[in-house]
Structure formats: structure tokens, C-alpha cells
Amino acid sequence: MQSPLYPNEPLARLEQLNQIGIALSKERNTNKLLETILVAAKRLLNADGGTLYRLEENSPHLHFEVLRNDSLQLYMGGTTGVAIPFAPIPLYDLNGQPNTAMVVTYAVLHDTTVVIEDAYTDRSFDFSGTRHFDQRTGYRSRSFLTVPMKNHEGRIIGAFQLINALDPATGQAGTFSAADRQLAESLASQAAIALTNQQLIEQLQSLFESLIELINTAIDQKSSYTSGHCQRVPILTEMLAEAARQSERGQLKHFRPTPEEMYELKIAGMLHDCGKIVTPVHVVDKSTKLEAIRDGIELVDARIEILKRDAEIDWLRAKLAALEQDEPTAVPLLELQFRERWSELESDRLLLHRCNIGSEFMAPRDQERIRQIAGYQWIGADGQKHPFLLEDEVRDLCISKGTLNPDERTIIEQHVALSLRLLNTLPWPKHLRNVPEYAGSHHEQPNGGGYPRHLREPELSIQARIICVADVFEALTARDRPYKLGKPLSEALFILGKMARDRQIDPDLFDVFIREGIWLEYARQHLPPEQIDTVDVHQIPGYIP
């Protein structure tokens, strides 16, 4: 015999109803909430079994969400992890007529509570399915109490159905009383409010994330060269954060974020580059060092051609003079000098083209050669001599890394400060209050060499460092940057290792990134096969297997 959990006195049951309402209002997990509603209804009314159904908006079916039967030890749906194998129940037949043969559909369609004293003697509804279930299980389904749940707009969002009211004294199946019905309807009202609130929270959260995705899509579409960056960094951020959460190494053994804190980090990862929405496209898209509206290398080519033609004219004039002066032996030497000058100019042209393409490193000897070439002179249409390269062209061609000159790099770097400023203007709820700090610190470095605030390790949260590692690795392997191809894994990890060794990124996070294979998992999902080369972790700087 099952003893009742709650005393049966009216005041005590009302008190329990209030406690249930408080518990429901606190629950934020939808599956747990649905399960709590049904369990509370069963215990409050001392029922042996029950089922909770949900009715989605614009759906003509009732969906099984939670099913429980104590006598049969049957527990499905909710948080059990056991799927309910029953198909949704249609509210209308194939001809569009209301399906009122079943108790639960009748209750929903007519917005009314239905109490059945004995399913085996009732002739109002079709209980053939119930009898078939009883035959297979040896169970005896007798009394039913079915209550629809309505939200604040009066729309039915589901129903719960209790089976077999148990007598507190004997444990035998009896019937549900009028008081039971009132309590069930009160509970259904509280449950509907709690469920509706949870749905509204989920809808607002979904809308919030969709708006972020909208911003990120606008940023990524703004430039074909950064397409997908704002989507991939959050993916890497979550992967690394989950691995760090389980780590027992270094400082990370104290990093144990709650689910709410993990969500906060996810949002920060999604918003880390929001400031780029105002970064000029010509800077973001700068694929070569001399590029402005057009690539300035075309002007350099034109000047080279002028110098070549001048050299050819000088040679022809000298050759003609030698022949006129009857000095034919001088012609071969003049031609050799011309050919050498032509070859030198062509070599210079190729060097200028190569240097115009941004790279991770520019050799000092190439920078010195650029300055020597700048000393050439060419004659313009005005008949005046001009320096071969202008001062700003020399500066840009000598950029040691990438394609951006100092002024343009300052513009790019401003996107972080702008992200921080923009995010700090928003009224963040308590559980998301750190989003601006995490997102606005993803270019800071533990050694203090980052930007825009030059924070050092004690001032940098683990969360900000996680986004930093994700941002750097995505940038190294991205195939769509204007000045480079995506690096193969081995090269990207080598560079990342050097950064960890120099404390440009967090060494503990780098260790987890390598040790737990985050790099390989990400690569298999987001990189083309040609970038996934063989990696020997023993050769990665800063990593000790």
C-alpha cells in the first residue's frame, strides 16, 4: 500500500499547492518543469499514474511529454532520458472534424475538465486503447482526471491526465472527488503560468541570439574576406571552454563555471567583433599593401614600364651614336648594359609584386631593397623627374606583417574598444553582466602586449583568454583572409605554440587546446582536407606532452 506524501486535510493541501506554485516559478529547465508539474499533480491528488501533454502553437496534435506510473514502475519523458514511443494525438480527423472520442482531446477541444469514475463502465469515450494497454501490462485503469492548461491569453497549451486516485488508507484505486478537481484546476492554472513564463524566456532568449546572429551576418557579409569568422569563433570558444571546465591542470583546476556562466561566455564569443560593424570596408578588405580603391601596384608597374622604355631609348640612342661615330665595337657592350638594366628592372618589378602581398614576416633585406628602388627617378608627362616610389608607398611596401599600415591597423584595432563601448551601453541582466568585459578583452595578452587597454594576466579573466585563443586559431586557419591562404594545421599550431611560449595567449589554455584535441575536432568539422596535414605534437613550441 502506498502512503500519501501529503496529508489530506484541505488547508494542508492548499499549503502544498502554494509550495508547488513557488517551486514551479523557480524552475528554468523546460523538461524538468514539465516533469515537476506532473509529479506535483500526482502527489497532490495521490494518483497512481499520469501523463502530461503539450499543444504547440499552430499544431493540431497533442504531444506526449511526461508519462509516469508508480505501480508499473513506468517513467518516460521529462528528465528520464527515456523517449515516449507513442505518436502525437491528433485533435482533428482526416476530414477536419474534431476528435472528441478520447478524453484528453475532448478536454482540450472543449476547454473543460473531465472526470471519469470507471473507464470500463463509461460509454462517453473510446477507452479501447486503455483496455489494450491493461491487457498487455496486467494493469487496471479505473479513474481519470483530465485538466487542460491555459496560458495568460486563454490559449490551451497542454493538459495533464491523472489515472487511479488511490485511497490513502487502503491504497486501492478509487475515484477523484470534487475537491480533487478544484485542486487539479488550480494546479493547472499555476502550471500553465510557469510553463508560459518559461516559453517566453526561451522565446526572448532565441530572439536575443537571433539578433546577435543578424549582427554577425551583417559583419561577415560586409566583407567576403571575413565571412564566417563571427560564426566560427563562438564554436571554438564553447569547445575550449568545455575542455577547460574539466581540466585539472594549472589555473584551470579552479575554473568551474556554472551553466549560466557558460552561456554568458557563449554570448560574449558571439559578440566579440560587434564593433567591426562600423570598420571601413576598404580597410577590412585590404588584400595588398598598396590597395586603396584600386591596387596601387598597377601604378608601380606603369613606372617600371616607363623606366624600361627610357632604358631602351637610351640604348638605341647610344647605339646610333656609336655607329655614326664608326665605333661598332661599342655596340655589344651597350647592348649588354641595356639587357642588364632591363633584367634588373624586371627583377625589381617581381620583388615589388611579391612584397605587395602581405605575409607573416618580411625580410629586412627586402625592406632595404624597397628603399633602394624608391631612389629611382622617372620622368612624368610634365617632363619633370619624380621619385619612383612616394613616401607612403615605401612605408606600405615595407609593412612587415599583413597588409595594413600603422594608421589602418589603428582603425582595425579600434573595433575592440568600440565593441566594449557599445556593449557597455546595454542594460545587461545579472547573469550576462560580464559579456562586455569578456568580448572587449579578446585582443589582450597575458604579457600586457595586447590592445586596447594593455591588460596583463592578473587583470584578464579566463573567459576573455578563451575567446582570445579561439580568435587567433580561427584567424590562422581561415581560408578567406585578404592577404593569405588558410594555414595548414601544423603551421597554425606552431605559431600558436610560439604565442603561448611568449605569453601572448594563455599557456594553460593552449595546453588544454592541444592535449584534448580541440584543434583536431574543430579542423575535421570546419577545415578542408588539404589543410589537415600531419601534426607532431612533440614539435609544437611551448607544449609538453
> One digit per residue, pLDDT tens: the chain, 545 residues?
334 444 445 656 666 666 766 666 666 777 888 888 888 888 888 899 999 999 988 889 999 999 999 999 999 999 999 999 999 999 999 899 999 999 999 999 999 999 999 999 998 998 988 899 899 999 999 999 999 988 878 889 899 999 999 988 888 888 998 988 988 888 888 888 888 888 888 888 899 999 888 888 887 777 655 667 888 999 999 999 999 999 998 889 999 999 999 999 999 999 998 888 777 766 666 667 676 656 678 888 888 888 888 889 888 998 888 888 888 888 888 889 889 988 998 998 898 888 888 776 788 898 899 899 888 888 887 888 888 888 888 888 888 877 777 777 777 778 888 889 999 999 999 999 999 999 999 999 999 999 899 999 999 999 999 999 999 999 889 875 555 567 899 999 999 999 999 999 999 999 999 999 999 999 999 999 999 999 999 999 989 88
CATH of the domain at 157: 3.30.450.40
Domain's final residue, options 350, 368, 403: 403
- What is the Cα–Cα distance from 146 to 114, expressed in whole angstroms? 5
Give, in order, the Cα–Cα distances in Å from 108 to each of 153, 161, 198, 358, 385: 15, 11, 21, 67, 91
pTM over 0.85: no
471/484 same-domain check: yes
Establish if 217 belongs to a structural domain.
no
Establish if 261 belongs to a structural domain.
yes
Instruction: Supply the pLDDT for residue 278.
Output: 76
Which residues have a Cβ under 8 Å from the Cβ of 385 and sit 6 or more positions away? 377, 378, 379
425/388 same-domain check: no
Which residues have a Cβ under 8 Å from the Cβ of 7 and sit 6 or more positions away? 13
Instruction: Supply the pLDDT for residue 440.
Output: 93
Establish if 208 belongs to a structural domain.
no
Grid coordinates belonging to 92? 482533428
Q: What is the SS3 assignment for 385-447?
A: EEECCCHHHHHHHCCCCCCCCHHHHHHHHHHHHHHHHHHHCCCCCHHHCCHHHHHCCCCCCCC
385/421 same-domain check: no
362/426 same-domain check: no
Establish if 218 belongs to a structural domain.
no
Going by C-alpha positions, the residue among 535, 432, 456, 424 that lies closest to residue 488 is 535
- 475: enclosing H helix or E strand: helix 462-477
414/371 same-domain check: no
Specify whether the CB–CB gap between 293 and 282 falls below 8 A: yes
Instruction: Supply the pLDDT for residue 135.
Output: 92
Instruction: Supply the pLDDT for residue 5.
Output: 45
122/254 same-domain check: no
418/388 same-domain check: no
How close are the terminal C-alpha atoms of the chain, in Å?
60
Establish if 350 belongs to a structural domain.
yes
421/399 same-domain check: no
Establish if 210 belongs to a structural domain.
no
Domain count, the chain: 3
Instruction: Please give the residue range of the domain that contains residue 535.
Output: 225-274+407-539
